[in-house]
Amino acid sequence: MTAHIVKSYDQDLAMLDQTVADMGGRCELLLANAVAALERRDPKRAQAAVVSDAEIDELERGLQEQVIRMIARRQPMANDLRHVMTVMKIGGGLERIGDLAKNIAKRGIAIAHETPPKSLLIGLNHMTEHALLQLKDVLDAYASRDAEKALKVWNNDAKIDLLYNSMFREMLTYMMEDPRNIGMCTHFLFGAKNIERIGDHTTNIAEHVHYLVHGVLPEGARPKGDDTSIMVVQPKPKS
């Protein structure tokens, strides 16, 4: 993108990008802390994660105000308008990621006195690692205006879906084997679903980055691997 005659215009655009970077970094930290709180059943860490979401919400409100002021003052056109509108959409996606991470932290508070199976913790870790990598890559793609990197994130979302499918099946098994596991497994199930939804919002951001660079969304249907909505638990045959 070429520099503008009015330097303050470029400064305004750079400020938008800086706010997105700040929000993104906070979302990464919040997600990592929220899942750690859930895994370790740590109420204090979970409460700290819940509080930090309010900071992301405040940044998103500030970003909206920045965008409104810029549209009113600068009347951006062409690439500048695309930039400004993309920032607002990405900001909204990051705010939702913060909300979902906060919900994961709340699950950590709810099961503070439970002892989950180690395999559930391993599965949740794998989902989190992939979700964090996806989020980091899409933020890097936005910062560098790298549409190819954004497209790679877009294509890799199905991996999180597959990991979620695996956890979903495993938790159903635990719940059917022992009804006493239902409460704990339900909280873990919602936590895993929130990570899967974070992957979806990260994919949305990847689409926005691709649009920012090329002016079009990625071609074809979005790759998906979540088949839990069509799963049916077969009842045990009567003896």
Residue 211 domain flag: yes
- What is the span of the domain harbouring residue 119? 7-225
Comparing C-alpha atoms, which of 155, 152, 148 is closest to residue 214? 148
Backbone dihedral region for residue 233 (phi beyond 0: left; psi -120 to 50: alpha; all else: beta): beta
Residue 131 domain flag: yes
Q: Give every CB contact of residue 122 below 8 A, 6+ residues apart in sequence.
A: none
Backbone dihedral region for residue 78 (phi beyond 0: left; psi -120 to 50: alpha; all else: beta): left
- Classified as helix, coil or strand, 86 is helix
Residue 230 domain flag: no
Backbone angles phi, psi at 226, to 5 degrees: -85, 110
Low-confidence ranges of the chain (pLDDT < 50): 5, 232-236, 239
Task: Work out how many domains the chain is built from and give that number.
Answer: 1
Residue 12 domain flag: yes
pLDDT tens digit sequence for 26-55: 999 999 999 999 888 888 889 999 999 999
pLDDT of residue 232: 46
Residue 234 domain flag: no
What CA–CA distance (Å, rounded) separates 204 from 213?
15
Residue 157 domain flag: yes
What CA–CA distance (Å, rounded) separates 164 from 174?
15
pLDDT of residue 4: 56
pLDDT of residue 75: 86
DSSP string, 203-224: HHHHHHHHHHHHSSPPSSPPP-
Residue 13 domain flag: yes
CATH classification of the domain holding 97: 1.20.58.220
pLDDT of residue 239: 45
Q: What residue ranges in 70-201 does DSSP mark as E strands? A: none
Can you give the C-alpha Rg of the chain in angstroms? 20
Comparing C-alpha atoms, which of 15, 50, 34 is closest to residue 198? 34
pLDDT of residue 78: 85
Residue 236 domain flag: no
> Can you state the angle between helices 182-214 and 118-144, rounded to 10 degrees?
10
